[in-house]
Structures are given as structure tokens and as C-alpha cells.
Amino acid sequence: MLNARVEMIRALGGAPEVRAGFDLAGPEVAAVAHAVGTSRTEQFRLGELSADAVLALRELTALADELSALAAHGSACTLTLSPARLIALRDTLDAFVAARDEAGFVREEDREAYGIALALAGPLSDLSADTLRAALDAAEPLGC
């Protein structure tokens, strides 16, 4: 992950919006797409889903589809994510790593994704905190 940054943009109505941006190399994009897709399946494959779980599943499916489409090109790319989507990505990669750590082994097809997800944990955590802080600072206070 290179060039991590927090960006402030203006929405159509003029309200400020915060976005996180960073660059991933081609192998990183493929590994992150694999990790997100696998983790999504593992998290939501059992039992009934609550309304909140369905929304989380939809968000992860959209993220997995976007990453898979980018990975199909095999080249580096720049990701620009909302704070919510960035945190969903961070949490999903954390869940992917934690599941393998808990199992005590990593399957061969997950090995590269595991290493990259583990390497991205710290930088994504830092970027998530910076992005969330910027979003909270940009929020207009409500009058009492």
C-alpha cells in the first residue's frame, strides 16, 4: 500500500465528504480481492441473517465485486473509499487473518492473501483512524 491519504471533497449539495485513498500493486489487488471474497463467504454462510447482517453482506459483496473487477486487469490501481467502506475493508481483512490464525494453518490458496492482508493491517488501521477523525472533524455540529 502506497500513497495513503485522506481527501476532503465537496458533494453535489456542497457538503464536505471525506474519502481515503491509497495505491495497491497488481498482486495486492488480487490478494485483497481474494481475502475479501473468502472472508465474506466465511462470515455469512451459516444461519439466518439479521437486517444489519444483510446490509453488511451487501456492502462486502459490492466491495468484493469492485476488487475482483480491478484484479482482473492485473495492474496497480488507486482505491478511493468512503470511511465506512474503508473500515469494512479493514475489518474484513482482519477477520480473514484472524480465522487463519485461530485455525492454526493457512491453506495454500490463501497463503499470498494472508501475507498481504497481514502486511496491510497496520497501514489500514492507521488510515481508518485518520479518515474517521477527519470525517468527525468535518461534520457540522448540530445546534441545541
What is residue 46's predicted lDDT score, i.e. its pLDDT? 79
What's the structural domain count of the chain? 1
What is residue 110's predicted lDDT score, i.e. its pLDDT? 96
What is residue 59's predicted lDDT score, i.e. its pLDDT? 92
What is residue 70's predicted lDDT score, i.e. its pLDDT? 94
In a domain, 137, yes or no: no
In a domain, 142, yes or no: no
The tens digit of pLDDT for each residue in 2-26 reads 999 999 988 788 778 999 999 999 9
Average pLDDT over residues 115-133: 95
In a domain, 140, yes or no: no
Domain that holds residue 117: 2-132
In a domain, 144, yes or no: no
Residue 26 CA: distances (Å) to CA of 35, 61, 78, 87, 122: 14, 20, 11, 22, 20
In a domain, 138, yes or no: no
